């Protein structure tokens, strides 16, 4: 039971992380200091897309699911399991990534304009 809760918590935090990566830059329009946290999150997202580095949240969820006696995440990871083919078709992955990049860049441009 405890491992299952850890796995579910990791999944929820992962979704929150991805949501913050997409739109968190807009929070900096109101709370300027949050831009530093968002820069770190956006950098991690970019690093994971460019290099394929495994996210610690994915590793934690997979580990906890296996410890709970369930099937772990597929080798393709969190995004492929929960998002690609579920929220949008797999062939639109690059378009979805571009959309997130545009959101982040727009939020940063707005942040800079609002600070001037």
pLDDT at 76 over 90: no
pLDDT at 116 over 90: no
Give me the pLDDT at residue 92, please: 93
Give me the pLDDT at residue 21, please: 95
Q: Could you tell me the end-to-end alpha-carbon distance of the chain, in angstroms, rounded to an integer?
A: 52
pLDDT at 23 over 90: yes
Tallying the residues shown for the chain, one arrives at 116
Per-residue pLDDT tens for 43-64? 999 999 899 898 999 999 999 9
pLDDT at 105 over 90: yes
Give me the pLDDT at residue 85, please: 85
Give me the pLDDT at residue 73, please: 84
Q: What are the DSSP calls for 42-67, one per residue?
A: HHHHHHHHHH-PPPHHHHHHHHHHHH
Average pLDDT, the chain: 93
């Amino acid at each position: 039971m405890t491992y299952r809760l850890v796995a579910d918590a990791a999944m929820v935090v992962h979704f929150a992380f991805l949501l913050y990566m997409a739109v968190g830059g807009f929070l900096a329009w109101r709370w300027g200091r949050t831009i530093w946290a968002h820069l770190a999150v956006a950098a991690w997202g970019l690093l994971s897309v460019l290099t394929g580095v495994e996210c610690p949240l994915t590793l934690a969820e997979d580990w906890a699911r296996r410890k709970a006696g369930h099937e772990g995440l597929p080798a393709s990871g969190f995004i492929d399991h929960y998002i690609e083919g579920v929220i949008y078709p797999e062939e639109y992955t690059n378009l979805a990534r571009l959309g997130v990049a545009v959101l982040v860049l727009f939020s940063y441009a707005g942040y800079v304009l609002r600070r001037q």
